[in-house]
Chains A and B, each alone.
Chain A
Amino acid sequence: MAGGMLCRPYNRPVKGEMYAMNCAPILSVNNLKTYFFTDEGAVRAVDGASFAVHPGKTLGIVGESGCGKSVTALSILRIVDDPGRIVEGEIMFRRADGGEPVDLAKLDAKGGEIRAIRGGEIALVFQEPMTSFSPHYTIGNQIVETIQLHQDVGKAEARTRTIELLRMVGIPRPERRIDEYPFELSGGLRQRVMIAMALSCNPRILIADEPTTALDVTTQAQILDLLREIQERTQMSVIIITHDMGVIAEMADDVIVMYLGRVVESGPVDEIFHRPQHPYTQALLRSIPSIFAEPRTKLPTIAGSIPHPHNRPAGCPFHPRCADFMPGKCDRHEPQLRPVSASQMASCFLYHEPAEAPQQS
């Protein structure tokens, strides 16, 4: 059988855990490091992130500001701006044609192959639907352009397809809306158009970077529903990036928790929320205000604040704020992401001993 690691989605039921476990990931990121080389020194935006995305599944990347979640997405698409650079690691992506996986990290960022993948096989939905469109062109114009860039179709057909897409994402009267400009649409509608554009080339992975952060809760619920519905229909994989644990709980199958460029914990969504292992995940979950809480109760907090990227602590980046800090260990050695149970991994010395020599900071 050509390419033994290819998955065969049609041989087995698509639903259920077995499928994901037996199936090779569509995207696997190994030890990715993306640094920004500024005048004041290198900022390690992503510092050794590893994770996998499975076909038809949703991976949630969660973390607070500066944790590297967005740079991870930009790295996958190879649109990291100067002075940022991928300095190490691989991003293995299985293309639709079924050949050997390609390492996106090694591709020429301006080359033909990544340009075919970007927007074609891997699409991106941004946080701010207002600034991600050009204000000078109608939304139809912009989607038609995307379609024609990746597929060999005529203008008329691309337009028909655009109307179809707009209808699919729930835009009322798409044949009229197609000729409107972005400013004429509300935030929720703009985010729908953004999703329509991302879907225009039938991507196999949709990366949604804070897709609902700028939206109101009732609109957020609509957009999350839409994403789930489309995923069910198309069986694409989704990477959802957010700071909001509520959105993760709602959407993700698997979760990685990031802190200062590192993956501190990963696992299935239920484990992450009900059996968190890393002290950061535990503290983060405790500190979220809950709609079930008694009024006027104090929240457990995480001491201190997220350090400035230039003052990254040595050893485990979370140790100055950690309740389980072990002097001599956590401040001198960097923990590695290791399995802590059958399905969960954590990067913490509570679960493994440091390597022999302290690492240079």
Chain B
Amino acid sequence: MKRADGGAPLLEVRNLQRFFPIRKGLLRRVVGQLRAVDDISFHINRGETLALVGESGCGKTTTARCILRALKPTAGEVLFQTGAGDVVDTAALPKRALQPFRHQMQMIFQDPFSSLNPRMTVFDIIAEPLLASGIKSRDQRRQRVENLLELVRLRPEFMQRYPHAFSGGQRQRIGIARALALNPSLVVADEPVSALDVSVQAQILNLMLDLQDELGLTYLFVAHDLSVVKHISDRVAVMYVGKIVEIAETNRLFKAPKHPYTEALLSAAPKPDPRLRSQRIVLQGEVADPAQPPAGCYFHPRCAHAIDRCRSETPKLEEIQPGHVVACHRAREITLKGVDAQANGKPSA
């Protein structure tokens, strides 16, 4: 699963697990495990965008938090290539030993209203990571904040204002400037545009694309909105109840999905064209409970293609074409619809 040019991936996640104990009763005894992230593996190449998509509760945010070590993984490896070129397993390092690598992975948050401290000026917000990394001179920090604001297309004069003076889109730019303050190589963006208005969403997506080109950033883009994902990502990983069910290059995944859940997701996404009505596959039932997942493939109770094997045996991720991995027993035998097929010949431009 290495990139064609042979370079090692910037990030490689191997068999990552994160369980949360379920406690009950007076003694808070552990009665079960909620398998939020259940044995997932993927990699992100330098300079690319991998989107992690899925519905709420599928474990995509937990995965992101494990990678940043905001949460300690239960098991597995998170292999990160540092600026110096060596590979560290951030899942195994003790917290203190992580410090030198922290600035190389940064996060952009979903809600631009609650992720900025209302009592701090924009300068203080963006300069905080600079201060924490030991840039003592105020002038130096000032210069850097000015550059960062220009980078995210905000006027440097805004520095002395407080977050309440800004719109949602401007606040998200401030959040991006803060994330970029320490020149990270990996940026984890957790639903960065889902709280924004449509007309502002496009501005932020374009900015993220520009910044990636300018600074050579690598993105892990966590999102539920497939049309946003289509615009920004090189590859997409689809999660369902703590497991990755499919990973493929973006165009491939949208045109020729191989997992029935991916197909249903693509089909359920509302398309802004009334002429495409009523071609949706509506899944029955609900997302499985990660505390009591069904036997076999977690998706089988909702899957139209399920056979006996799916009810008993958990499918493994298998590479069915170069770069296209699927966890489905029947991936090779069933034909699924991609978005172009659903669009009935609508041009994809």
Contacts and interface: CB of A to CB of B under 8 A. Distances in A.
B271 A291 contact: yes
A243 B250 CA distance: 26
Interface stretch (B71-79, B225-233, B325-333): B225-233
A201 to B, nearest CB: 27
A218 to B, nearest CB: 5
A297 B202 CA distance: 11
Interface in B175-221: 197-203, 205-206, 209
Contact of A306 (B199, B286, B339): B199
Interface in A219-243: 219-222, 224-225, 243
A217 B224 contact: yes
B147 interface: no
Contact of A249 (B199, B272, B348): B272
B280 interface: yes
B272 A246 contact: yes
Interface string A288-307: 11111111111111100110
Nearest to B204: A301
Interface of A: 64-65, 186-189, 216-222, 224-225, 243-250, 252, 269-270, 273-274, 283-285, 287-302, 305-306, 308, 321
A216 B264 CA distance: 12
B45 interface: no
Given A221-B280, A270-B275, 11 more contacts: A189-B286, A225-B282, A245-B198, A288-B198, A289-B205, A292-B230, A292-B271, A293-B231, A296-B233, A296-B234, A302-B202
A218 B200 contact: no
Contacts of A299: 202, 205-206, 231
A229 to B, nearest CB: 11
Nearest to B55: A216
B170 interface: yes
B267 to A, nearest CB: 8
Given A249-B277, A292-B348, A302-B202, A244 B197 contact: no
A295 B270 contact: no
B46 to A, nearest CB: 16
A110 B225 CA distance: 42
A246 B269 contact: yes
Interface residues on B, range: 35 or more
Contacts of B339: 291-292
B44 interface: no
B291 interface: no
A216 B56 contact: yes
A224 B283 CA distance: 12
Interface string B241-267: 000000000110010000000001111
Given A221-B280, A299-B206, A243 B198 contact: yes
Contacts of B6: none
Nearest to B235: A295
A294 B254 CA distance: 10
A295 B234 contact: yes
22 contacts: A216-B224, A218-B282, A246-B269, A249-B273, A250-B271, A274-B275, A288-B272, A289-B201, A291-B226, A291-B339, A292-B347, A293-B230, A294-B349, A295-B233, A296-B232, A297-B231, A298-B206, A299-B205, A299-B206, A300-B202, A302-B199, A321-B199
A225 B278 CA distance: 9
B275 A288 contact: no
A287 B201 contact: yes
Interface string B43-65: 00000010000011000000000
A130 B44 CA distance: 37
A289 B224 contact: no
B200 A305 contact: yes
B269 to A, nearest CB: 5
Nearest to A280: B199
A305 B204 CA distance: 12
B287 to A, nearest CB: 7
Closest 6 pairs between A and B when the two form their complex, measured CB to CB: A246-B270, A216-B55, A299-B202, A221-B268, A64-B197, A302-B199
Contacts of B251: 294-295
B340 interface: yes
B279 to A, nearest CB: 11
A255 B56 CA distance: 30
Contact of A222 (B267, B283, B343): B283
B167 interface: yes
Contacts of A269: 274
Contacts of B200: 305-306
B282 A217 contact: no
B264 A218 contact: yes
B213 to A, nearest CB: 10
Interface string B306-342: 0000000000000000000000000000000001100
